[in-house]
A and B are shown apart, each in its own frame.
Chain A
Amino acid sequence: MHGKPRPIPKVPTRIRGLDEVLEGGLPRGRTTLASGGPGSGKTVLGLEFLCRGAMAGEPGVFVTFEERAEAIRKNALSMGLDLAALEKAGKVAVVEARLDGEEVLSGDFDIRGVLAIVEGHAKRIRAKRVVMDALDVLLRVYGDPQRERNELYRLHDWLMDRKLTSFLSVKAQLDGNMVHRYEFLDFMADCVIRLDHRVQGQVATRRLRVIKYRGSGFGTNEYPYVIGGHGIVLFPLTQAELPHQPLGPKVPSGLAGLDAMMDGGFRRAACILMAGTSGTGKTTLANAFARAACRRKEKVLYLSFEESQEAMIAGMLSVGIDLRPALRGKRLMVQTALPEAMGSDNHLLRALEAIDSFKPDHLILDAISACVRMGSESAAFDYLMRLVAVVKERGITCILTNQITGLLGGGEELSGIGFSSVVDAVIHLRFVDAGQEIGRQILIVKARGSGHSNRRESYYITDQGINFPNNLRLPSARAGQADSKDGGK
């Protein structure tokens, strides 16, 4: 008798990340409402929805009540969407519907003028979608919430009658009595999206949240998003369990001594943390790995938040690691940025775009400790969790360096910001006071899915690279065999 509830038909937005949150897209033939403060990206969201749809064969009408059509076209172009070309091809119509404010009001009126214009264009291009941007600006002409409301119901019916998939945006009114002005719209629309633009630790971040979706499930979290050169990108990390790749076979660390300590090296697709105080050789260790990988014709993406590419190359030359052939051979890609140059979401977008285009086998992030300068510890945590999630999903080996301060006691958090759970291997580097001189020691704290030495081993950084004086060899350094408790000497 009772059939299963049938999934409602949806229209993909083709906006990266958004369709996952919406479990497929916006409701077909129905109304979606987006609200947010100034600068939250309402126009961009509507614009991208319309353009991507038009490019995929669903023409649409864009009605702008606030900005000029020319400004909208420029806006689109900055995201790589050629609105003018789509208009010329008859796939998009842009309607500039702005009152000039000089009109005299006398007696009752309604917005059927606009609807006639929209309908005319919609028929001409056989539109399936309509975006009405900054609807509140037109409605202001009523100067009366009750009349605004009636008009919106009329609009809603009109859109439904024509089976248009519509996207309406209104400005969130934050001040005084205006708070609930358009709240009733939430009940009217089938899908409601809130956009938010806030500043966290001096860095602006954007968040998107789906409030309701009639007849459909949806991701209920707040999702960070950025507006970049290719439009909007959402990061729906929390969207399901992460499909991590299992740890792969061994990959040499680039150092025979370290390979000996780790039963042959790192595991592919593992996340390896190298922690130590300043000067212990974290960057050198990471680059020894990078050079070896590039020599095997594998690709390494190096995200450096500590120094410029030139400074890193010069620094590595001084310890006998020449990265230039790897760079020339395009096996090593170095992406440098000041952590405070942009928000963590933009850093993430930049890294993800590099991963997409460069397709590295391994990724090195130098250093976690600098990421906190992206705004806050929670922003850094967010950035790292999302980055590691993507990297793991793609089976990319990931080396994170972390600069820790002070001498290390037991049980200290080596990652600094509490995400050791995603870390598969931890390597601890430290200085030791050896009487006349300072020595360095390395310890494998943990190595998931791998045997490893539990001894602290000495190493030297020379102009020929990193040396392990104990001439470590594979079988002799295995966990369970060595049992020194005091570590170094």
Chain B
Amino acid sequence: MSKSHQAKHRARKEQRGHYLLRLFMAGNGENSQKALANLRRLCHQHLNGRCTIETVDVVKDFEAAVRNNILVTPALVLVAPRPRVMILGNLSDLPKVLVALRLPGSES
């Protein structure tokens, strides 16, 4: 019951253009922190907060890496809206990330 409720909730969010972004990292090193900071900034500046960020540490949860075929880290997966997209790296090349996420406004 609650699952379907959740799904409905998610679907509504999606309709409103809500983004679900899953960030895979290996440990909490510099590159991981950079990727997370870049992603948060993007969420704030280009999605007006219409996004949920989930982080997964593959060192702690290698099964998640297996399931999602995470070979290099950091790796960002756009889970919703569909289609799914994977972006490798610490997301420092913002224009490229925006294009990949199908977001307008790559203006600086």
Whether both chains belong to one complex is answered with yes
Residue ranges of A at the interface with B (Cβ–Cβ < 8 Å): 95, 97-100, 102-117, 119-121, 138, 141
Interface size on B, residues (CB 8 A): 34
Q: Given the complex, which residues of B lie within 8 Å of A108, measured CB to CB? A: 31, 34, 89-90, 92
In the complex, which residues of chain A have a beta carbon less than 8 angstroms from the beta carbon of B86? 102-104
The answer to whether B100 touches A113, judged by C-beta atoms less than 8 angstroms apart, is: no
What residues of B have a CB within 8 angstroms of the CB of A116 in the complex? 26, 58-59, 62, 65, 70, 73
- Are A109 and B62 in contact, with the CB atoms below 8 A? no
Contact for B89 among A97, A98, A107, A138, CB less than 8 A: A107
A95 to B67, CA, bound (A): 12
| Nearest 7 interchain pairs by C-beta | A120-B62, A112-B26, A107-B92, A107-B89, A107-B90, A116-B58, A106-B93
Residues of B close to A106: CB separation below 8 A? 87-94, 96-97, 100
Chain B, range 48-76, C-beta contacts under 8 Å to A: 58-59, 62-63, 65-66, 69-75
Is B24 in contact with chain A by the CB < 8 A criterion? yes
Can you list 22 A-B pairs with a CB-CB distance of less than 8 A?
Answer: A95-B66, A97-B69, A103-B86, A104-B87, A104-B96, A105-B88, A106-B91, A106-B96, A110-B26, A110-B72, A110-B73, A111-B71, A111-B72, A112-B26, A112-B27, A113-B24, A113-B70, A116-B59, A116-B73, A117-B70, A120-B62, A120-B65
In the bound complex, residues from chain A placing their C-beta under 8 Å from that of B85 are 104
The answer to whether B96 touches A113 (Cβ under 8 A) is no
Q: How far is the CB of A41 from chain B (nearest CB, A)?
A: 25
- Is B71 within 8 A of A97, CB to CB? yes
Residues in chain B near residue A120, CB distance under 8 A: 62-63, 65-66
Q: Pick from A95, A97, A105, A108 the residue with the most CB of B within 10 Å.
A: A108
Q: Judge if B35 is at the interface, Cβ distance under 8 Å.
A: yes
Chain A residues whose CB sits within 8 angstroms of the CB of B59 once the complex forms? 112, 116, 119
B72 touches A117 (CB 8 A): no
Partner of B100, one of A104, A110, A111, A112: A104
Cα A103 to Cα B62 in complex, Å, equals: 20
B31 CB, nearest partner CB in chain A, Å: 6
**B19 CB, nearest partner CB in chain A, Å:** 16
Q: Which residue of A is nearest B38, CB measured?
A: A107
